[in-house]
């Protein structure tokens, strides 16, 4: 009964909140438009936007070793999570049956294990740095910790749900996923959709001023 509820009504509610919430947040950002640039542009903003989107994907020269640690742990987590989300066999089946109507070849089991190890290690390292580093600890908010904890629970229950004979474990995993989907649009997790917009805007503005961001 519980599994039917989380796979049925609660799934549709959480998916609706996720899609509408993300759409509204993106509309709020895009509808603000750009401030008029009253100065003569010194370079094309498009090139600056694309360059900054790419260049901000690694640590700039001169930053501390802590920034490099954050970069490596971040890539471990995000790449691992991306592989788990879109290429884990149960997810491929779910996407085909419940979302898109078609699927693709899932990742082999060994790659799933590697991706899971990377995602867990990266997330734990990032969270430990957040709570142990004096500066990171002061600037971190409830939102940062809630997002990390919810994401960890989703991944942990997902691994437990691989025990296919236990419907209760699959139900718990679905519940944590739906909790994260409902929380997502109202949190800093929205950076998954807005990071390119933010980087692009900064790069374009700086390029028009003759500064390479």
- Residue 50, domain member (yes or no): no
Round the average pLDDT of the chain to a whole number and report it. 87
pTM: 0.86
Q: What is the pLDDT of residue 111?
A: 93
Q: How far is CA 105 from the centre of its chain?
A: 23
CA 156 to CA 30: how far, in whole Å? 35
Residues 180/150, Cβ–Cβ less than 8 Å: yes
- Residue 48, domain member (yes or no): no
Q: What is the pLDDT of residue 48?
A: 76
- Residue 169, domain member (yes or no): yes
User: Which range (71-75, 95-99, 148-152, 201-205) has the least confidence?
Assistant: 201-205
For 32-53, the pLDDT digits (tens) are: 877 777 777 777 777 777 888 8
- Residue 72, domain member (yes or no): yes
Residue 164 has pLDDT above 80, yes or no: no
Closest CA to 51 of 210, 202, 194: 202
- Residue 31, domain member (yes or no): no
Three-class SS string for the chain? CHHHHHHCHHHHHHHHHHHHHHHHHHHHHHHCCCCCCCCCCCCCHHHHHHHHHHHCCCCCCCCCHHHHHHHHHHHHHHHHHHHHHHHCHHHHHHHHHHHHCCCCCCCCHHHHHHHHHHHHHHHHHHHHHHHHCHHHHHHCCHHHHHHHHHHHHHHHHHHHCCCCCCHHHHHHHHHHHHHHHHHHHHCHHHHHHHHHHHHHHHHHHHHHCCCCC
Q: What is the pLDDT of residue 42?
A: 73
User: Which range (22-36, 53-67, 75-89) has the least confidence?
Assistant: 53-67
- Residue 87, domain member (yes or no): yes
For 9-35, the pLDDT digits (tens) are: 999 999 999 999 999 999 998 888 777
Please state the rounded mean pLDDT for residues 116-124.
96
- Residue 8, domain member (yes or no): yes
For residue 111, what is the domain's CATH number? 1.20.950.20
For 173-190, the pLDDT digits (tens) are: 999 999 999 999 999 999
Cβ contacts of 174 within 8 Å, gap of 6 or more? 3, 6, 7, 10, 11
Considering its fold, how many domains does the chain have in total? 1
Q: What is the pLDDT of residue 98?
A: 86
Domain that includes residue 66, residue range? 2-19+61-196
Confidence of residue 4 (pLDDT cuts 50, 70, 90): confident
Helix axes 9-31, 191-208, angle to 10 degrees: 10
Percent of the chain with pLDDT over 70: 93
- Residue 79, domain member (yes or no): yes
């Amino acid at each position: 009964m519980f599994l039917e509820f989380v796979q049925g009504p609660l799934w549709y509610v959480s998916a609706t909140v996720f899609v509408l919430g993300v759409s509204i947040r993106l509309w709020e950002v895009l509808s603000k438009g750009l401030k008029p640039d009253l100065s003569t542009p010194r370079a094309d903003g498009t090139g600056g936007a694309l360059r900054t989107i790419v260049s901000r994907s690694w640590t700039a020269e001169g930053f501390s070793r802590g920034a490099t640690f954050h970069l490596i742990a971040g890539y471990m987590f995000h790449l691992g999570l991306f592989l788990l989300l879109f290429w884990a066999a149960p997810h491929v089946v779910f996407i085909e049956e419940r979302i898109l109507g078609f699927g693709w070849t899932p990742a082999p089991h060994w790659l799933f294990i590697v991706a899971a190890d990377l995602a867990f290690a990266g997330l734990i390292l990032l969270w430990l740095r957040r709570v142990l580093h004096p500066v990171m600890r002061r600037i971190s908010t409830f939102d940062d910790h809630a997002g990390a904890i919810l994401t960890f629970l989703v991944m942990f229950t997902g691994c437990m749900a691989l025990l296919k004979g236990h419907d209760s474990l699959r139900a718990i995993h679905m519940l944590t996923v739906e909790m994260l989907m409902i929380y997502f649009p109202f949190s800093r997790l929205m950076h998954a959709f807005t990071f390119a917009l933010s980087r692009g805007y900064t790069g374009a503005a700086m390029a028009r001023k003759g500064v390479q961001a």
